[in-house]
A = this chain, B = another copy of it.
């Protein structure tokens, strides 16, 4: 581990079939005014909305609701939420839903008492959040983003056609508590399930494909990847397999709780490209990541050859006998591609709402980063064309 680091994670996680039982004890730590943030009908369909409202009422809370948070939460919704927080003097923002809802709650918390333009300060200039924030609690109904145990927040500014992710200070903008009952994820449609799974897998790869030192984080990332592949295959067979769904949920949380990122340079270029794809289309985040990953990794693998060889052997059990490193690495990427196909994920950007005209705009507006190699705009365009 050659890169010095500071790690902290203040989120208390309640996990399992009985996780919601902890909500009332958590609520007792906060004042009366709760802003309940959620998406659409899904939490009502599974009965969770009624349960949560009933627990909030028993706890004597004043509840204001902000519903309709979109899969790519918009800055306009953040502004609306921030207004409600100021009006209600909110003591706790309770986010019920997937990562989008939790991301939105963090953004609302940061923006509510921001002096100046929150978008310019916190997403444009990535300034440190120094104003008062409102504590956040989360009840998770979809897995993938890991937002329940980190301080990241991805917001789409529709006016500016920008989807920007940032990491807030952990100590005040990571959720104070998160409730994860994997059973809530049973009713997520298969397309959303595999999208979430690939989001997790991508988080692991974005951290893994960097550095060439011997580093504990890489072994833990491999552990999570192997667990996730096993659990995915079980969940594809039976989406109500609790063991599989709970493993997927915990891989999701651990993949992005930042512990597996320590002392890692990290890559994140697949996410940067997908964020701009998300700004131009309604493509589900994990689906976009899956489509971009294979051409992207074919584009960069030779710059980090040893790591791609290790990926092939450790994660996909590629037999190296009689093969060059080059061949082993490419076989590993082929296994990744097969895994994506096994999940029934579309293979092309044209299948998910992208048009050929969008590609140069996406390439140009993508933030360029990376570890083994940093692509330029023509490089990104090439990857997008191969993915098209």
Q: Judge whether A15 and B11 touch: CB under 8 Å.
A: no
Contact of A262 among B15, B222, B227 (CB under 8 A): B15
Which residues does chain B contribute within 8 Å of A262, judged by CB atoms? 15, 250
Which residues does chain B contribute within 8 Å of A3, judged by CB atoms? 16
Contact of A13 among B8, B13, B254 (CB under 8 A): B8
Q: Judge whether B242 and A214 touch: CB under 8 Å.
A: no
Kindly state whether residue A109 has any CB partner on chain B within 8 Å.
no
Q: Judge whether A11 and B13 touch: CB under 8 Å.
A: no
Which residues does chain B contribute within 8 Å of A242, judged by CB atoms? 2
Contact of A15 among B6, B12, B254 (CB under 8 A): B6
Residue of B nearest to A17 (CB): B4
Kindly state whether residue A298 has any CB partner on chain B within 8 Å.
no
Q: Judge whether B214 and A1 touch: CB under 8 Å.
A: no
Copies assembled: 2
Kindly state whether residue A226 has any CB partner on chain B within 8 Å.
yes
With A223-B222, A254-B220 as contacts: A243 and B8 at CB distance below 8 Å = no
Kindly state whether residue A230 has any CB partner on chain B within 8 Å.
yes
Bound together, the chains give a CA A22 to CA B7 distance in angstroms of: 12
- Chain A 12-24 against B: per-residue CB contact (8 Å), 1 yes, 0 no? 1111111100100
Q: Judge whether A254 and B259 touch: CB under 8 Å.
A: yes
Bound together, the chains give a CA A12 to CA B263 distance in angstroms of: 15
Q: Judge whether B216 and A2 touch: CB under 8 Å.
A: no
Kindly state whether residue A213 has any CB partner on chain B within 8 Å.
yes
Bound together, the chains give a CA A221 to CA B224 distance in angstroms of: 10
Q: Judge whether B214 and A250 touch: CB under 8 Å.
A: no
Which residues does chain B contribute within 8 Å of A300, judged by CB atoms? none
Contact of A246 among B2, B231, B244 (CB under 8 A): B2
Q: Judge whether A6 and B12 touch: CB under 8 Å.
A: yes
Kindly state whether residue A358 has any CB partner on chain B within 8 Å.
no
Q: What are 5 A-to-B residue pairs whose CB atoms are below 8 Å? A: A4-B15, A8-B11, A214-B227, A250-B262, A250-B263
Q: A4-B17, A6-B15, A215-B247 are in contact. List 15 more A-B contacts (CB 8 A).
A: A1-B16, A5-B13, A5-B14, A7-B12, A7-B13, A8-B10, A8-B12, A10-B10, A15-B262, A213-B243, A216-B227, A216-B247, A220-B223, A220-B254, A259-B259
